[in-house]
Amino acid sequence: MTVPLRPFGRTGVKVSALALGTMMFGERGNPDHDDSVRIIHRALDAGINLVDTADVYSQGESEEIVGKALAGRRDEVFLATKFHGQIGTDPNHFGNSRRWIIRAVEDSLRRLRTDHIDLYQVHRPEEDTDFDETLGALSDLVHQGKVRYIGTSTFEPSAIVEGQWIAARRNRERVVSEQPPYSILARGVEREVLPIAQKYGLAVIPWSPLAGGWLTGRFRAGGAQPETSRGGRQPGRFEIGAPENAAKLAAVEALALLAEQSGLSLIHLALGFVLEHPAVTAPIIGPRTFEQLEAQLDAAQVRLSRDVLDEIDKIVPPGVTLSSRDQGYHPPALEPARRRRSAA
């Protein structure tokens, strides 16, 4: 069964209702390049045409794997990557400055073995950089033909709106998409981000639709701590016994029961939920193995009934994110220098 297509915001481009995330390909997850290429090809053969990567995933290795996989198939794919994260140790090989963007895009193009990126995303906002500086550099890349569209990721509501206003007032290229965290366990974006995206006609491609693995059925109360590829990078976040995860674990238990009663796998319930929001274009699935991809491919056909959606709302109410670590935003710390005009 092929993955259906959906409009990518108001760009006129059609993308698959599931996007393939490639964060797990490379040293950080699956270090076997041939296996990773096989997974990418299986996704393309199943009808996925939106592939998401980032320069920072395994420090360029994910982009290299995607480049290998797309040799001869580049035109089939709406290729999305990102800049912002620290590459290497040079303090200026980071962030959203014109200086770094102009360098970072060349590095990504080389690793991806292509002459253009379909969607170039700002991975995170950067408070020291005027967003007009960023949009100006990105607009130049669009005019040069190196980038087709500009997107953002994990931007707060005010920053999304500010981006639209800057583009209009200063004649910059417009941001056409946002990539926020969104899953049954992390519903915070339902409050403002998703309604704003609808208002401005932005495509929305949510990350971590399975909450990084919590919604796969491997995390169960009373069960053994599951092996996860992420525990080492984010201590505590994936520990089933940690008090900070108690609410998530209780929700997962209730959701697993609901999935069983509905005749669905927990994975299909979780992806079906994200697909159901009218603002969402395509959740980005993040398989590390071939089997993990297979378990998710049919999810685009799942339609959750109103009763099932109501039950989910009872387990995790609309707009609620159960753990602040899943919301993706890092609000500025309220240190004295930010609250006072002077240190005196």
Ligand X SMILES: NC(=O)c1ccc[n+]([C@@H]2O[C@H](COP(=O)([O-])OP(=O)(O)OC[C@H]3O[C@@H](n4cnc5c(N)ncnc54)[C@H](OP(=O)(O)O)[C@@H]3O)[C@@H](O)[C@H]2O)c1
Q: Which residues bind ligand X (CB under 6 A)?
A: 21-24, 29, 52, 123, 153-154, 179, 207-213, 216, 218, 228-230, 267, 284-288, 292, 295
Q: Which is nearer to ligand X, 140 or 253 (CB)?
A: 253
Q: Which is nearer to ligand X, 170 or 233 (CB)?
A: 233
Q: Provide, rounded to whole angstroms, the least separation between the CB of residue 25 and ligand X.
A: 8
For residues 284 and 33, the answer to whether their CB atoms sit within 8 Å is: no
Q: Provide, rounded to whole angstroms, the least separation between the CB of residue 231 and ligand X.
A: 8
For residues 66 and 22, the answer to whether their CB atoms sit within 8 Å is: yes
Give the separation between CA 187 and CA 228, rounded to whole angstroms.
23
DSSP letter for 226, please.
P
Q: Provide, rounded to whole angstroms, the least separation between the CB of residue 296 and ligand X.
A: 6
Q: Which is nearer to ligand X, 145 or 241 (CB)?
A: 241
Give the separation between CA 251 and CA 266, rounded to whole angstroms.
12
Give the separation between CA 171 and CA 169, rounded to whole angstroms.
6
Q: Which is nearer to ligand X, 227 or 335 (CB)?
A: 227
Q: Is 329 noted as a catalytic residue in this protein?
A: no
Give the separation between CA 297 and CA 41, rounded to whole angstroms.
13
Give the residue from 336, 268, 257 showing the smallest Cα distance to 304. 268
Residue of 57, 120, 149, 182 marked catalytic = 57
Structure tokens at 298: 């049919």
Q: What is the full DSSP assignment across 49-95?
A: -EEE--TTGGGGHHHHHHHHHTTTTGGG-EEEEEE-S--SS-TTSSS
Residues contacting 101, CB < 8 A, separation 6+: 83, 134, 137, 138, 141
Q: Which is nearer to ligand X, 97 or 327 (CB)?
A: 327
Q: Provide, rounded to whole angstroms, the least separation between the CB of residue 83 and ligand X.
A: 12
Q: Provide, rounded to whole angstroms, the least separation between the CB of residue 281 and ligand X.
A: 13
- Pinpoint the alpha helices (H) of 181-289: 193-200, 246-261, 266-276
Catalytic center residues: 57
